[in-house]
């Protein structure tokens, strides 16, 4: 079983719509969860972090965590073409401080 | 805002040569990492470094890899004898304890 799983996409949404990105993880003891955005050829850029069950909102972004279901999601409201990128879900490992990344979901926002 | 800086941005080397990738982490961070990303694949953990020693390493980080913090600011990744399959983007990252990782812009390594 993969440690962090994401649908690779592409997920295509029209400008102004809500994009919903999902992630599941295997280590039940994981405590820290992150969403990174990666443009092609660039480095991962932190968008959101979430540590407890429920929702966390920051501007147009909402992260949702359900530890019982081992599920993390990211909602992007009012999607813009500039949001088109690959979104990486990352989870801390049980053993230490490293992050384990999913393969990423490619989001395409069309005008 | 402080950032992680990596040099060079692109390194081309011949198979069998040694390369050193350099990183300057954010100054008050204590945890340092190297990740790599082969084109079209996921970001993979290589090694983490804390308190002047390796705290964890992956299966990828075999004997041909080494890391060093030669002074108070630099953090280097050395690949002793490069192979074609080492071609990838190499990202350095740093963090405070229990905090998100901040990534540098990466070094694109091309082994010919």
The predicted structure's pLDDT at residue B109? 98
Region of residue A70 (phi > 0: left; psi between -120 and 50: alpha; otherwise: beta):
left
The predicted structure's pLDDT at residue B98? 78
The predicted structure's pLDDT at residue B3? 93
Q: Per-residue pLDDT tens for A34-56?
A: 999 999 999 999 999 999 999 99
CA angle B34, B70, B82 (to 5 degrees): 50
The predicted structure's pLDDT at residue B1? 74
Q: What percent of chain A has pLDDT over 70?
A: 95
B98 class by beta-carbon count within 10 Å (0-12 exposed, 13-18 middle, 19+ buried): exposed
The sign one gets for the Cα dihedral A37, A69, B37, A7 is: negative
Q: CB–CB of B56 and A43 under 8 A?
A: no
Q: Per-residue pLDDT tens for B43-84?
A: 999 999 998 899 999 999 999 999 999 887 899 999 999 999
Asked if residue A23 has pLDDT above 70, the reply is yes
The predicted structure's pLDDT at residue B71? 86
Q: Out of B35, B56, B89, whose CB is closest to A96?
A: B56
Query: Residue A95's closest chain B neighbor by CA?
Result: B56
Q: β-pairing, B75-79 with B65-68?
A: antiparallel
B109 class by beta-carbon count within 10 Å (0-12 exposed, 13-18 middle, 19+ buried): buried
Tokens for A39, please give them.
Answer: 């443009």
Q: Per-residue pLDDT tens for A82-104?
A: 999 999 999 987 766 789 999 99
Q: How many Å apart are CA B34 and CA B21, to the nearest integer?
A: 10
Q: Per-residue pLDDT tens for B12-33?
A: 999 999 999 999 999 989 999 9
CB of B56 within 8 Å of any CB in chain A? yes
Q: CB–CB of A98 and B98 under 8 A?
A: no
Q: How many Å apart are CA A22 and CA A45, to the nearest integer?
A: 18
Q: Å from A104 to nearest chain B CA?
A: 7
Q: Å from B62 to nearest chain A CA?
A: 18
Q: Out of B31, B44, B104, whose CB is closest to A43?
A: B104
Q: Å from B80 to nearest chain A CA?
A: 24
Q: Out of B45, B103, B104, whose CB is closest to A100?
A: B45
The predicted structure's pLDDT at residue A1? 59
Kindly report the average pLDDT of chain A as a whole number: 94
CA angle A49, A38, B97 (to 5 degrees): 35
- Select from B47, B98, B101 the residue whose CB has the most chain A CBs within 10 Å, as the one to mutate to test that interface: B101
Query: Residue A43's closest chain B neighbor by CA?
Result: B105
The predicted structure's pLDDT at residue B17? 98
Q: What percent of chain A has pLDDT over 90?
A: 85
Q: Count the neighbouring beta carbons within 10 Å of the beta carbon of residue A96.
A: 11
Q: How many Å apart are CA A76 and CA A53, to the nearest integer?
A: 19
């Amino acid at each position: 079983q993969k440690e962090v799983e994401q649908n690779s996409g592409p997920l295509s949404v029209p400008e102004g719509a809500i994009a919903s990105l999902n992630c599941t993880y295997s280590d039940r003891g994981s405590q820290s969860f992150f969403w990174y955005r990666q443009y092609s050829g660039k480095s991962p850029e932190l968008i959101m972090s979430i540590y407890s069950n429920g929702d966390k909102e920051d501007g147009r972004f909402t992260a949702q965590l359900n530890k019982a279901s081992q599920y993390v999601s990211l909602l992007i409201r009012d999607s813009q073409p500039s949001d088109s990128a690959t979104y990486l879900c990352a989870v801390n490992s049980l053993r230490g401080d490293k992050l384990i990344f999913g393969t990423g979901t490619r989001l395409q926002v069309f005008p | 805002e402080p950032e992680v800086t990596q040099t060079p941005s692109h390194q081309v080397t011949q198979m069998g040569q040694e390369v050193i990738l350099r990183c300057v982490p954010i100054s008050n961070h204590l945890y340092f990492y190297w990740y790599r990303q082969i084109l079209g694949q996921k970001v993979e953990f290589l090694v983490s470094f804390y308190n002047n020693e390796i705290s964890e390493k992956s299966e990828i980080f075999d004997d041909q890899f080494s890391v060093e913090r030669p002074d108070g600011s630099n953090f280097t990744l050395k690949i002793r004898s490069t192979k074609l399959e080492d071609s990838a983007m190499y990202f350095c990252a740093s963090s405070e304890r229990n905090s998100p990782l901040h990534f540098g812009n990466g070094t694109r390594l091309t082994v010919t």
